[in-house]
Copies of this chain bind each other. A is one copy, B any other.
Amino acid sequence: SRGGSASTAGPDMDDVLRRTVAAVPPYEMREKPALQEASSREFVQFYRGLGAAERPLFLTKLAADYGTDHGLVSELYGRVREVQSRDLGTLLQAEDRLRYSLTPRYKFLISHICRLEEGVKFIVDLRADILQFLQNKTADSPQLREMNGILKTLLSDWFSIGFLNLERITWQSSCDLLQKISEYEAVHPVRNWADIKRRVGPYRRCYVFTHNAMPREPLIVLHVALTDNISNNIQAIVRKDPSLETTEDVNKITTAIFYSISSSQRGLQGVELGTYLIKRVVKELQVEFPHMSQFSSLSPIPDFTKWLRGTLSFKIKEGKSNQIFTELEYKELQDIIEGPVLEKLQHLLSNNEWVKSDKLVRILETPLMRLCAWYLYGEKHRGGALDPVANFHLQNGAVIWRINWLADTSPRGLSSSFGIMANYRYFLEDANRNSVQYLRTRQIEASKQILSLVAQCQTISKL
């Protein structure tokens, strides 16, 4: 790292940009770009050498100084208007030049970089940087936001499903792949190599997408359990003793449980991969197990706890605690909680101690399940489900099928959703219709269990 002295020593950022960002080729030469390997390589090396403090500045400069030529856009639009009444060919030509003029200049640089070895990976990581700068505000300009959008579109093209390889990961797969998969596993962390061996062993499947231009890098990982019913507990899946069963009995396999899906490239945020991975895996499984009849996720509910705490605080402030619990529930709570119930409860739920009290566990089940159903079904963000996992599976055409009490009693599970997990179930024949419907009308499909819990909640809680 070149550290803070970059501004004085080393080549000046502006100089580097001037030298390395290719000029926009004339419209006529647009498919015959001169080779720019040396300067692309210089750009990459310079960027890699930049310190953490310099990168935001450098990218901000790039986005600002080498973007779209607004004057040219204006001029070419003028031309479009001019020829509008002329013959169609002329109009289309003018439109195409306008279209070309809307390509930011840095996009040509990116095209050149992606031709370098590991160039695609560099671009993916560059976008990861931008996302981080925008998030932590170390850099924030309209042009940088625009560059982020341009990159997202570009990466969506590059990582389009037709260019991805589906790979099944087993214990015979390469160690470096398995190590990466272990590290990327965000949903139910892999503790050791016995864990990962279990997750690629009998009654389990692990699939990844890879891309030719980024060899040995899993892009997204899907873990599947093969069971005979829709699982209601994650520990049974990820912790079960692997020594017990060594060969699969095909007759016991009727159900595929998607119990973890993790992106492994921050720079591909917003590039749809999960939906396609699930679709492809369903097809693979149907070939391997022609009689498989049930497909469902067993999913975390990452922010239910956070949402409920917020809601509790609000109700306490407003003095409307009766909108959370039924009278009977409230009374039961009063019986075992000393002092002001809601306040104390709020404290109790802020750590995971409550789960050790069988009584509390029994009393809380009904209200928490009811509230959770509502949270998944009723709370919205831009019209869709507030919960990102629910939103993902609903977009894919799944149904909110079931929520499960004490399904994840790990500290993580308790902290994020009081141990509740959700099954989003895929009815293959309906999935496409559901997906289209949800994307268009935001209408959520849910099972009777969920709808009934939601109805109870609406009666009781006024949320």
Contacts and interface: CB of A to CB of B under 8 A. Distances in A.
Nearest to A103: B99
A160 B111 contact: yes
Contacts of A119: 162
Interface in A365-396: 395
A119 B88 CA distance: 30
B439 A34 contact: yes
Contacts of A149: 96
A119 B115 CA distance: 23
Interface string A297-318: 0000000000000000000000
B115 A91 contact: no
Contacts of A30: 153
A102 B95 contact: yes
Contacts of A84: 70
A143 B88 contact: yes
Q: How many copies does the complex hold?
A: 4
A70 B81 CA distance: 11
B92 A270 contact: no
B435 A162 contact: no
Interface stretch (A175-183, A338-346, A401-409): A175-183
A148 to B, nearest CB: 11
Given A32-B395, A73-B98, 4 more contacts: A70-B84, A73-B80, A92-B145, A116-B162
Most chain B beta carbons < 10 A, residue from A120, A143, A172, A395: A172
A212 interface: yes
Most chain B beta carbons < 10 A, residue from A149, A165, A270: A149
Given A29-B439, A38-B432, A95 B73 contact: yes
Contact of A35 (B95, B98, B176, B275): B275
Given A157-B157, A174-B174, A175-B171, A32 B98 contact: no
A323 interface: no
Interface in A68-107: 68, 70, 73-74, 77, 80-81, 84, 87-89, 91-92, 95-96, 98-99, 102
